[in-house]
Structure formats: structure tokens, C-alpha cells
Structure 1
Amino acid sequence: MKTAKQRTRDTRYTSYLHPRWWPTWIGVAAMWLGAQLPLKLQWWLGKRIGDLAYRFAGRRKQITDVNIRLCFPELSETEKHELVKASFRANGIGVMEIGLAWFRNPTSFMPITQVHGLEHVNAALASGKGILLLGGHYSTLDLGGALVTEYIEADVMQRDHNNPLMNAVMTRARERRYGVALDSRNLRGLLKQLKNNRIVWYATDQDYGRKGIVFAPFFGVPAGSITATSRIADRSGCAVVPFSHFRREHSPGYDIYFHPPLENFPSGDDMSDATLVNKTIENEIRKHPDQYLWMHRRFKTRPSRQDPNLYSKDAN
């Protein structure tokens, strides 16, 4: 029998008919049903999901609070508290939007979507070296990605889901929008797509451990930052184009931003390159700080192994 790890990339639904997969199928069905609701109702439900998580997900709340205190020291105590709560609500909406991305046609959201800077993508493609889309883990992650593919042809790098059935649903949904959904460890596949002048969505803004990193500032805090972005750009000659996507609540809709390619990148200096990448993502986060995934332990890996754990309860 295949292990869960071996089965991860099995996207055939017929492989998941055994009763042990039925709870996951029920969850998928609930996501599909939720995706059929009107958008405003989904946003309302998403906020309620966020409120419940804020109340009961104590560990994630603590991580979010630590991150916001580290990254926004200029805020008052009340402002920090409100940003933590707003972040949970924004990510609750993001949970509902996963269903929209996986089970609805994004074309229906085109009338309420605005794209900024698409000319930067078109100009970068003219070089024939491909584009690395430098994204981030915003709460609009899946829906934003689906909307992007209405304007450009792109592939995506993803971390496979631990649940093989959920991974099959996610991968099939993404490959209906993107050309290829590459495993995040498939560097060879990524370079092949860039060589074919493809656009590949790529995110670097999480803590991946000590391997292949430098400690570059992120909101002024030393953060373990991968150097792979520089290596990929150096080997392929691709353009690195920052982009982001956010929810627009005052007049319900979405904004997608593309920016000019990073200049002098790679520079040959890993620290300088990682600092530029982090600052670029930081600038996007500041547009809508509540719509970022602050629940992740971004500063888990510290410069010295003797440095205290920033997320331990004793540190707060």
C-alpha cells in the first residue's frame, strides 16, 4: 500500500473512494456549497470564521500578536489589538475564497477586479527568459492567483497539502487555472518552465529553516530568508516581477498589482538580494496589513541557535 507521502501527487479521485476519505469528501462538499453563496454573504461568513478563530485558536492568536508587535512597534496597544483581530477576519474571508478559487469560474469576478501594471509583465516577457512572479502569502492567496490567470498565462509553485485527497482537489483546481502546479521542491521543473519563457508564481516569505538562507531584515527584524530566488534568477536569466493581490471592501472587489522587475537582481550579494526581496514584499503588505498571513511563525529561525524563541509563551 502506498504511504500518504507517496500518494500525495495522486490526483485521481478514484484513488480516494475508501471510507477513510469520506470525512475529507464531506469537507470538500461543504467548500463547494459555500462557494455557491453570494460574495457578500461569503465575506460575512468569513468574518465570523475569523471571529471564532480569534476567540478559540489561542496559539495562532499568540503567534499573530507576536508578529504584529515585532513588525509594527509604532502602533499603539489598541491599534495592535485591532490589527490582530482584523487579520483573523481577513484570513477567515480567505478561507471562504479558497472555495471560490477551486470551484467557481473566476471570469464572473472580472467586473469587480482591477489590474495595475500589466505592462510590466508584457515587457518582461519580451526578453524570452521567463518571469518569476514574486508573490506573498496574502489572505487572497488562492482567489488572487485564479484571478491573475485571467490576464496572463502562468504556472505555480505550491507546497503540497499533507492530506493527499485535499492535495488532489487543490492541484486539479489550480491546474485548471494555471498551466502546471509544480511541487515547491521541483527546482528542475521550475527552471524548465522559465526556459520556455513561462511565468511562474513563486513565494519566498515564509520560514523554511536554516538551509540556504541569510538573515535579512523583514519589517526591521532579522528573518531567515532563502537565497534560492537569486540562484534561480542567475541560472535562468529570468525577470523577477513583484506582484500582489488584495480584497477591496469599501467597494467590493479585488486589486492585482504588477511592478517593474527588480533591478540589478541578482547582484551577487545574497544579503543584498534577500533584503531587496523582503523590502519589496513588505511594501506590498503595508498596503493592507490585515490581509497578510500573520499566523505563520515568520521569525521562528533565529540568527543564533542560542537566541530565545520569540513565540514561546515565556517570551511574552
Structure 2
Amino acid sequence: MLTGALTRLTVALFWLLHWLPLPVLAVIGSAVGEAMYWVARPRRHIASVNLRLCFPELDAGARRRLVRAHFRALGRSLVERGLLWWASEARLKRLIRLEGAERLRALLDSGRPVILLAPHFVGLDMGGSRVAMEFDSVSIYARQKNRVLDRWLYHGRSRFGDQLLLSRQDGVRGTVKAMKAGRPFYYLPDMDYGRKDAIFVPFFDVPAATITGLSRLGRLAGAAVVPCVTRMLPGGRGYVAELGEPWPDYPTRDVEDDTALMNRWIESVVRTMPEQYYWVHRRFKTRPAGEARPY
């Protein structure tokens, strides 16, 4: 765990790096990720297990190359985070292209609450900041134990516009109220948070504990679900945050079917850029009764 002094040193390094052009940052970030691949053995193991479970059709060599590509993308996302903390709004708008904003604005202008379904790709925070430049949103923020890191992460999330950051302890009521007041909800429901409010549905054909919030919140708020995917472009060419078409006939009255549909959709996007999904998370740590943990 980073100490306060080491965190401050890291933050200072990020500040220095953020002045560099993005193609240069991309090279540095990829090199950092390559070093992480060799040094962060526990996380490398987690990513390897995840890819073995999710892509059994790949041989060991192909999975190893994919893990390394993931760490390079992860390294980029860490090094380039300083841009979100200090780069000007004009520069970030040049680096992060937002597609589909008009569609989202039309939904909000109609009075329809909106959930932005944002899976855990490495460009997630870039997309969130770009959306925040156009829309006052609501999202869930988990406080960090490291106070220095918490300060800067919170600064990055709240820097643009009038963003409402709620804690998980604030419950559903605050989120629904914010959506009904016209704030899109930037929602990240694709991690293993344990058994609470979760059911087991397939993710790449593996039973995965998945929270049912997308279906439940959609029904409570009468919200449209708009997919939001952020892609990191190769060669330091920037990012694209894509706001898709709202899902028709969603949610239904069947929470399990709704949650399984969400996972199938995330799978389909992951397959388009598998190296950019957040594989270092223990997505399958919670198991059905009697089943061993894979890590």
C-alpha cells in the first residue's frame, strides 16, 4: 500500500507527466504497464485466471500475450490519469471524443431518467470526465483509505460541472431522486461485490455474482438504459466515449433475465477490445455454494 509520502511523490510525477503530448504519455504508460506485468505477480495471476476462464479457446501463449497487452493498457490508463486532474477542459475535449451526446440530451429533455451503463474498461474515467463536461450527473464514489489518493480521485471525478457523488451507504433513494431530477446516473455494475444484492448469472459462460441494480433501478426510476463504452485508441490518438441507443423494452419484470442480458452485452463489447477490460479484478471470487474459488 502506498504511504502518504510516496503517494504525494507519485502525484507530483503525474503532474509533471501531464504536460507531455499524449503519444509520449502512451509510450511511457505502456512501459510502466510492461513493468507492472513482471512485478505485480498477484494481479498478473488474477488476470491470467480470468482469461483462462473467459477465453478457453485461446492457447496458453495467446492468453499470455493478451495479459501483457492488458497490463500495457492498464499502465497507460494510470499514467494518463494526470490529464483528468490537471489538463484544461479544452485539451481534454480534443483528446476524448464524445459520440451520441445529442441522443442523451434528447432523452433528458423529454424528462426520462437515464442510467449510463459503463463497464469497467481502462478508459472508464476518461469517458466519465468527458460526459461530466456536458452533463451534470450522479455516480457512486467509494472513499479511499489513502487520504492523499482519495483527495485527487475525488477532485478528478468532481472537477467539471456540478457532479453529485454518492456513497454506497446513501442507498437507492438518493440515486433515484437524482435521476428523476434530470441527472444521468453513471453506473458501473460489473464487478464482484459479494453476495449482497447479487445473483449468479453467466459471464463468458461462468457463473458470476452480479448485482441486480441495473434492472431494479431502471424499474424504480422508470429509467432508460443507455450503454456507455470508452475506448482507448492505439498510438496515443486519444479516447472515444460512445453513448449508444437506449435499450428497448428494458427492464422487464424478470430481474434474472435482465441481469443476464447485461452480462451478455458486456461480453459482446469485451470481445471487441479484450485487452482493455479490467481483468485484474477477481471477477469470480464469489462462488456458488460448494464451488472452489479459482484464484
Same fold flag (TM > 0.5): yes
CA distance in 2, matches of 1:54, 1:92: 9
The equivalent residue for 1:71 is 54
Do residues 241 (structure 1) and 226 (structure 2) align? yes
Per-residue CA shift, 1:233-271, capped at 9, x if unaligned? 111111111111011115712111111222222212121
The equivalent residue for 2:164 is 180
Residue 297 of structure 1: SS of its match in structure 2?
A: coil
Matched to 2:198, the amino acid is I
CA contact (8 A) 2:22 2:236 kept: no
CA contact (8 A) 2:200 2:288 kept: yes
Matched to 1:197, the amino acid is G
The equivalent residue for 1:290 is 275
Matched to 1:233, the amino acid is G
The equivalent residue for 2:38 is 55
1:87, CA displacement in angstroms?
Answer: 0.2
Matched to 1:277, the amino acid is M
1:162, CA displacement in angstroms?
Answer: 2.1
The equivalent residue for 2:74 is 91
1:218, CA displacement in angstroms?
Answer: 1.0
Which structure 2 residues correspond to residues 274-289 of structure 1 after superposition, within 5 A?
274-289=259-274
Residue 185 of structure 1: SS of its match in structure 2?
A: helix
1:39, CA displacement in angstroms?
Answer: 1.1
Per-residue CA shift, 1:41-84, capped at 9, x if unaligned? 21111111111111111111111011111111222332211111
Per-residue CA shift, 1:204-240, capped at 9, x if unaligned? 0100001111111111211101012222111111111
CA distance in 1, matches of 2:135, 2:271: 25
Do residues 302 (structure 1) and 276 (structure 2) align? no
CA distance in 2, matches of 1:251, 1:296: 25
Per the normalisation by structure 2, the TM-score is 0.92
The equivalent residue for 1:7 is none
Do residues 132 (structure 1) and 123 (structure 2) align? no
2:18 corresponds, among 32, 35, 49, to: 35
The equivalent residue for 1:252 is 237
Per the normalisation by structure 1, the TM-score is 0.86
CA contact (8 A) 2:127 2:230 kept: yes
1:272, CA displacement in angstroms?
Answer: 0.3
Task: Single out whichever of 75-84 and 286-295 deviates more from structure 2.
Answer: 75-84
Q: 1:68 to 1:263 in 2, by over 3 A?
A: same
1:21, CA displacement in angstroms?
Answer: 4.2
**What is the identity percentage for the equivalent residue pairs of Structure 1 and Structure 2?**
36
The equivalent residue for 1:223 is 208
Q: 1:166 to 1:233 in 2, by over 3 A?
A: same
Q: 1:63 to 1:174 in 2, by over 3 A?
A: same
CA contact (8 A) 1:161 1:167 kept: yes
Q: 1:297 to 1:165 in 2, by over 3 A?
A: same
The equivalent residue for 1:11 is none
1:159, CA displacement in angstroms?
Answer: 2.1
CA distance in 1, matches of 2:48, 2:147: 32
1:160, CA displacement in angstroms?
Answer: 2.0
- Superposition CA RMSD, Å: 1.9
CA contact (8 A) 2:4 2:146 kept: no
CA distance in 1, matches of 2:82, 2:283: 26
CA distance in 1, matches of 2:269, 2:286: 23
Matched to 2:140, the amino acid is M
The equivalent residue for 1:123 is 106
Name stretches of at least 5 consecutive residues in structure 2 with no aligned partner: none
CA distance in 2, matches of 1:279, 1:160: 30
Do residues 192 (structure 1) and 177 (structure 2) align? yes
* Paired residue total: 291
Do residues 141 (structure 1) and 124 (structure 2) align? yes
